[in-house]
Structure 1
């Protein structure tokens, strides 16, 4: 859902007003994780729709993050409490979009309304729609139909419309609300004026279908000024980090989102520059220089990874996409090298959606022995650093005893490559926007970090 993507994080709060903190301080919220169980075919279907949306788009708080695997998504959710009194909402955490929005309801008597399915604006004493002439209203997209302001009414609210390439839409009032967040030390943080979209019209598969099950909106973590990370970053330093744990483990480990601060494992971070693409300024682009399989560098030109003068191509880091997607010149080489070096018998792709090009039969092998027979993938990034995810970050269990390569080819003209959340699992990822760099470490993915 990268124009509007997901990544999901749950924020619980008690009472602690957000004040300007001294350097190095931050809010850290634990991320909870539900019982796993995503369907690879469902995840792939969702990713393809999400990727199409991304490709067609126009040019310290630590929160618990809950995997969306149990609802068939493979995403990560955030729990945010909005309003006075607070109402609990689950939002998709998404580095590929800016807007924070929640499904809203204007009903007065909501006795028949499922609890927590929408934000009830009339039940909050602190709900405040922005005026259509307010400066904040110029920061959001508006409906192409009709004028921005109703000149016959002095109190016209700011109306936004956030559209998806598949026709999905979130539209309503761009507003301000009190948000409360739960910290790892059991303190509650209160944010007085969180700008968000109160979506009275929410329609389409990207925001109402199976891939969105269990969520009431999106928590945008992109680079724009209205994103959650930008709004809180002004108070806690312009950076955020997260650690996405393996949702296939049982019991599931805790993931987290942190706004501000410096991680204890910062000395172990490897840094690569974050690039800005004028065509898509929301996305976090990185520069990949080369890719290797089992230490053998593949014959792929570095230019294949870069975006051109008009913004086509490049590589983004996206928490809202489960699998990883590579443009054709790269994917062809990676797939051939993986096939050549796989030391396991091949297996037929799962049905009814045989969308995976390489599958292995691991019947009779435990996870450790099976993993030892998988090829090792690594990326050489700008800055001279290497990112080498473990095989379980790109081979996924599609059926019992069958593991498939969780990397897909993207063939759309002008397309970019995507490093999805599965590839990022087990890494502490730090997005430092002031220094325009991405830090990553295999250490620090625990509540004690």
Structure 2
């Protein structure tokens, strides 16, 4: 277990900074790669210089993951809201880009669980404090307000119309944070380490003039990367042919290696060992629904009975912003019992009993069973680092949690896998990888 926990996995898409290395391959299709930097990395604006042990960052990530369920908890599954509720103070990760002409650098929370792109704008009637200059639409020659009759305005669910016909949006979040402003079009530029920026013209976004809540002053807004029509991924879908992927590096205090997110031709997941499962289209369209059929613990295969998302197709969400994999409590208890029966080691009380309750002394000779997640058409063989985490100096815990409302395949289970999304073929692919070497 020493080697396992010397290279710990963390909430890699929890408030991470995107450093973009864009490279357009053709005029019709963009292919570029993004560095993902964990919020606890020295390169992150959230970095605390005070030395923290790896397990302390794991516990912080787990607590942030609990708040993440506020986001899912506010979604009405009987409707198709484009703006989904997220806990904005956590943010999951940050993205560095530029907006307008000339381009103004902006760093905003990026979220695979929401769609609308918005940033704080001048004139600001009521804004939360931010360190960077506010975006001023008067300074951009390519800025255009969107009319109430536009497709973009009609796509949004919470809009009003100004006296002069401009579309105004309103977004509220699970923690009572909010943003209000004008829907507009402008050029969004993805910066490039090799000085080859990728300008994306006429990107719809919200120019927020009234924003409040638990946002961090390092961020200037939110970039939605979900499946809805106004997310960044959807707006550039044709250019990237609906493809993006990421590879999450286990982060330790020693390594500091960055993760990668790829778009377009760079995002194709292929070669030996690739397994793929269908994306199930259902409401809300923001989320990426998959079908979980069973989970095997050693030789014991336990059938998944379903969740509030459904008993059959599309019964679980894959989410890069949630730390833990969460399962309905009855099924979770079956998994925990099977794991407990197979683990060899000294069992101890959990330091965070309300979240993880199957824990062992890390200093003992802990031996864990193999676990396989059986998605429809894709058997994903997890490594011990995907389902056991160190939560204190000498305690490791099983990292699946109970949640009767939402089944979520979290990012700990995705660490050291190349995970590819194809919105055209409607599938998610997994490939075992050493992400630090990619």
Structure 1, residues 267-325: CA drift from partner, whole Å, max 9, x if none? 23211111112x32221111111101123212x3x44258449x998101011212221
The Cα shift of 1:94 comes to 2.2
Partner of 1:259: 263
- The partner residue of 1:177 within 161, 168, 186 is 186
| Alignment partner of 1:304 is 2:306 | yes
Partner of 1:276: 281
The Cα shift of 1:123 comes to 4.5
Cα distance in 1 for partners of 2:73, 2:116 equals: 18
SS of 2:413's partner is: helix
Residues 243 and 191 of structure 1: is their aligned pair in 2 closer, same or farther, counting only changes over 3 Å? same
Normalized against structure 1, the TM-score is what? 0.78
- The partner residue of 1:128 within 144, 154, 158 is 144
Structure 1, residues 145-174: CA drift from partner, whole Å, max 9, x if none? xxx223xx33x4321112223433222222
Cα distance in 1 for partners of 2:37, 2:418 equals: 16
Cα distance in 1 for partners of 2:150, 2:240 equals: 25
Question: Structure 2: 5+ residue runs without aligned partners?
Answer: 1-12, 78-88
Partner of 2:331: 330
Partner of 2:61: 43
1:9-24 equivalence runs, <5 A: 9-12=17-20, 20-21=27-28
Partner of 2:199: 190
Cα distance in 1 for partners of 2:124, 2:306 equals: 52
Residues 221 and 355 of structure 1: is their aligned pair in 2 closer, same or farther, counting only changes over 3 Å? same
Structure 1, residues 54-112: CA drift from partner, whole Å, max 9, x if none? 133134xxxxxxxxxxxx9593332122223333333333222211222334269x9xx
Cα distance in 1 for partners of 2:388, 2:122 equals: 41
Residues 133 and 357 of structure 1: is their aligned pair in 2 closer, same or farther, counting only changes over 3 Å? same
Whether the 8 Å contact between 1:396 and 1:404 is mirrored in structure 2 is: yes
Partner of 1:397: 390
| Alignment partner of 1:140 is 2:160 | no
Cα distance in 1 for partners of 2:434, 2:224 equals: 24
The Cα shift of 1:31 comes to 3.0
Residues 375 and 74 of structure 1: is their aligned pair in 2 closer, same or farther, counting only changes over 3 Å? farther
Cα distance in 2 for partners of 1:105, 1:18 equals: 36
Partner of 2:96: 79
The Cα shift of 1:262 comes to 5.0
| Alignment partner of 1:427 is 2:417 | yes
Cα distance in 2 for partners of 1:74, 1:58 equals: 21
| Alignment partner of 1:408 is 2:401 | yes
Cα distance in 2 for partners of 1:410, 1:350 equals: 19
Residues 103 and 327 of structure 1: is their aligned pair in 2 closer, same or farther, counting only changes over 3 Å? farther
Partner of 1:64: none
Partner of 1:67: none
1:105-254 equivalence runs, <5 A: 105-106=122-123, 115-116=131-132, 118-142=134-158, 148-150=160-162, 153-154=163-164, 156-183=165-192, 185-205=194-214, 208=215, 214-248=218-252, 250-254=254-258
Cα distance in 1 for partners of 2:72, 2:203 equals: 25
Partner of 1:374: 368
Whether the 8 Å contact between 1:323 and 1:420 is mirrored in structure 2 is: yes
Cα distance in 1 for partners of 2:434, 2:193 equals: 15
The Cα shift of 1:19 comes to 6.9
Higher deviation after alignment, 224-233 or 394-403? 394-403
Normalized against structure 2, the TM-score is what? 0.80
| Alignment partner of 1:56 is 2:70 | no
Partner of 2:340: 339
Partner of 1:291: 295
Count the aligned residue pairs. Answer: 399
RMSD, aligned CA: 3.3
Partner of 1:66: none
Structure 1, residues 35-62: CA drift from partner, whole Å, max 9, x if none? 4766445433432332132133134xxx
SS of 2:158's partner is: coil
Whether the 8 Å contact between 2:349 and 2:357 is mirrored in structure 1 is: no
SS of 1:398's partner is: strand
Question: Structure 1: 5+ residue runs without aligned partners?
Answer: 60-71
SS of 1:423's partner is: coil
Residues 201 and 331 of structure 1: is their aligned pair in 2 closer, same or farther, counting only changes over 3 Å? farther
The Cα shift of 1:122 comes to 4.6
The Cα shift of 1:118 comes to 4.5
SS of 2:412's partner is: helix
Partner of 2:10: none
Cα distance in 1 for partners of 2:24, 2:295 equals: 46
Higher deviation after alignment, 160-169 or 118-127? 118-127
| Alignment partner of 1:26 is 2:31 | yes
Cα distance in 1 for partners of 2:218, 2:319 equals: 20
1:91-102 equivalence runs, <5 A: 91-102=108-119
